[in-house]
Structure 1
Amino acid sequence: MASERIFIQAIRRYCADHGIAVDVHASGWLVAMRRGKTRRFAFGYDIGLNSAIAHRLANDKSATAEALALEGVPCIPHHLFLNPKLGKNVVGPTWRGAMLELLHGHPQGVVVKPNEGTSGRSVFKVTTEAELDHAVGEVFSMSAGLVISPYVAIEDEVRVVLLDDVPLVVYGKQRGRDWRHNLDAGAKPVLLESGEVRTACVKLAIEAARAIGIAFASIDVVRVDADWCVLEINSGVMMESLAKLHPELVQATYDAALDRVFAGR
C-alpha cells in the first residue's frame, strides 16, 4: 500500500519474491513473516538480526557512548539523567546541580535530548539556565531519561548502514537551515562516492558496530574539528528519506538483511 512506510513495503516485496507469507499488525509496527515452519518478526524498524543486548545498547544513547568509550572508539559523550518522577531512591537529590555543572562547563552550549528515540524529536540546544529548565521539562514530560552532550560544531555528518561489517549504504546528510543534521529536520541524503571520507567513515562505523556486537545497524559519524567520531548507533534501520531518491538501493539493503534473517542463525 502506498501509505505504508518504505520499510513495510520493502518487506512485502521481499516476501512476495521469496514465497514468504507476511502479516502486518499493530498499525504497521509488527510484521510477522512465515515460510514453512520458519517464522520471523520485524518490529518498528528492527528487522530481527541483532541480539537483545546489542539492540538495547544501541537504543540507549548513554549506554552506547559508555560502551564505545570502553573500546577506545571516539564518540560524542552522552551524560545520562533519569526522570526525578522515578523517585529519590532512584535519581538522588543532585541531578539538577550536575546538569548545571555541565552547562557551565560548556560556554558554547549543550544539547538536551531523550536517552532513547530517533529522528531528532525533542532535541534542544541550550545556553542558559532558563533554556535548560525548559528543555529538561519538555523531555522529562515524555521520557524516563535524558542525555546531555556538549554542543559541538558539526562540520559533516555521515550515516553508514552496515550488515556484518559490510557497508551497504553510505551517505552524507546535507543540512538545511536547521542546526541539526536530522533528515526529518530538512537535511538531504547525498550518497558518498569512494574516497578518503567514505573510507574513514566506514572504518569508524565498523569499529563502533564491533564494540557493541551489532550485526545490522545505521551508524551516524560526525566530523568535529577535522576529526571523525561516532554520534549514535541505530538498531532500527530507517531509510524512508533515502528511498525517495534511491529506492533500488534501499530495497537491495533490506533484501540483504532479510536474506540473513531467513538463512538461519
Structure 2
Amino acid sequence: MASSERIFVQAIRRYCAGHGIAVDVRAGGWLIAMHRGGTRHFAFGYDIGLNSSIAHRLANDKSATAEALGLEDVPCIPHHLFLNPSMGAQIAGPDWHKAMLALLAQSPQGVVVKPNEGTSGRSVFKATNRNELDRAVSEVFASSLGLVIAPYVEIKDEVRVILLDERPMIVYRKERPSVVGDGVRSLRELSIAAGHDHQLRELDARDASAIVPKGERRVLNWRHNLDAGARPVLIENGEVHAACVKLAIDAASAIGIAFASIDVIRVDGAWQVLEINSGVMMEALGKLYPELVQATYDAALDRVFDEERRGT
C-alpha cells in the first residue's frame, strides 16, 4: 500500500483485502473499481456510490442545497447563485453584478463568495466592500462556472456530522487556530511563536501589529476548514452533540441522502446548516483517529455490498 495514497483509498484497500474483493485503483486513486463475483462497484473522488444521483447533485450544489432545505424549513445559511457571465447574458442574466451589490448592501458584516461546487474552503473569500467583492468574484469566475454569495456571519462553533442512514458515525468540532495574549507581544509575534506563521496572510496588517492584552484569546482565521488550519475535536455526547445530530438528520432527510458529512454552525445561539457534502472526505481526521475513520468507511462499504447481496 503506497503511503502517499489518500486515506480514503487506503481505507478501501483495507476493506477489500479483508472481504475478498478485488480492487483496481486508477487515475491516481480518483477512480476505484471494486469487483466481487459478477458485480463491479465504483468509488469516484470521495463518493462510494451509496447516494442517489439526485441527492449527490443536490449536495454538491450549495445553492440547490439551501433551496431544498428551505422547502423543508430546515434552518440554513442562504446561498445565492450567480452563473459565470462568460456563458452569455441569456444564461448569466443582464443584472448579475447589480444583484451582487444588492446582497452586499444587505449584509452589514460583509459577504462570503465561493464556488457553487467544491470543498475544503478553496477559493473562498470574505468581502466587505465593492472592490473586495469584485476581486473575489473575478477570482472565483476564473475557474468556476458558478459561484454563490452568502451573508458573512460570526460563527461561534462549527460542527461536522458524518451520517450513514441517519446514524451519526462521527461528530466533531472544528477548532480554529488561536493564540492567547501576554500583554507584551503582538499578534504576529504570538502567531509565529505558536507555529501559526502560515496564518499571518489571513490577518489585517494593523491587527497583526497590535499588542494582544494578557489572557485575551485571538482566533487567527475566520475559516473553519481543516485545510485552513482548524483542528478536529471529537464530540461524543451532550447537548451540542444531540442538537447537531438532529439538525444533520433533518438536512439529510430533506434531500434524501444516505452517506454524507454535514456542517452545522451556531450563530447567535442558534444552529443552522452551512452545507452538505456527498463525498465524505476524512483525510485530516484520519491522521488523528485512523481506527474511527476506517470503521466509518467499513460501515458504508458494508452497505454497498449488502445491497449487492440483496440484489438491489
TM-score using structure 1 length? 0.99
> Percent of aligned positions with the same letter in both sequences?
75
SS of residue in 1 equivalent to 2:172: strand
The amino acid across from 1:134 in the alignment is R
In structure 2, distance between residues paired with 1:128 and 1:11: 46
Distance 2:107 2:90 in 1: 29
Q: How does 1:31-180 map to 2 (within 5 A)?
A: 31-176=32-177, 177-180=220-223
Whole-Å separation in 1 of the counterparts to 2:251 and 2:7: 26
Please state how far the C-alpha of 1:38 moved relative to its aligned partner: 1.5
Paired with 1:216 and 1:40, the residues of 2 have a C-alpha distance of: 16
What count of residue pairs does the alignment treat as equivalent? Answer: 265
The alpha-carbon deviation at position 107 of structure 1 amounts to 1.6
Give distance in 2, aligned partners of 1:68 and 1:162: 17
Describe the superposition over 1:237-257 as per-residue Cα deviations: whole angstroms up to 9, x where unpaired: 000001111000000000000
Measure, in 2, the Cα distance between the counterparts of 1:239 and 1:214: 18
The 2-side partners of 1:32 and 1:227 are apart by: 42
CA shift, 1:193, in A, is 2.4
Q: Secondary structure at the match of 2:126?
A: strand
Regions of 4+ moved over 2 Å: none
Q: 2:229 aligns with which of 186, 196, 208?
A: 186
Other structure's SS at 1:111 match: strand
**Corresponding letter in the other structure for 2:299:** A
Q: Does 1:238 align with 2:281?
A: yes
The structure that has the greater radius of gyration is: 2
Question: Match of 1:161, SS?
Answer: strand
Q: Distance in 2 between matches of 1:86 and 1:263?
A: 44
Q: Give ranges in structure 1 of 5+ residues lacking alignment.
A: none
Q: Secondary structure at the match of 1:209?
A: helix
Q: CA deviation at 1:88?
A: 1.0
Q: For residue 132 of structure 1, give the secondary structure of its aligned residue in structure 2.
A: helix
How do 1:221-260 residues align onto structure 2 when only pairs under 5 Å count? 221-260=264-303
Separation of aligned partners in 2, 1:172 and 1:107: 27
- Map residues 9-48 of structure 1 onto 2, 5 A cutoff: 9-48=10-49
- Name stretches of at least 5 consecutive residues in structure 2 with no aligned partner: 178-219
The one-letter amino acid paired with 2:31 is L
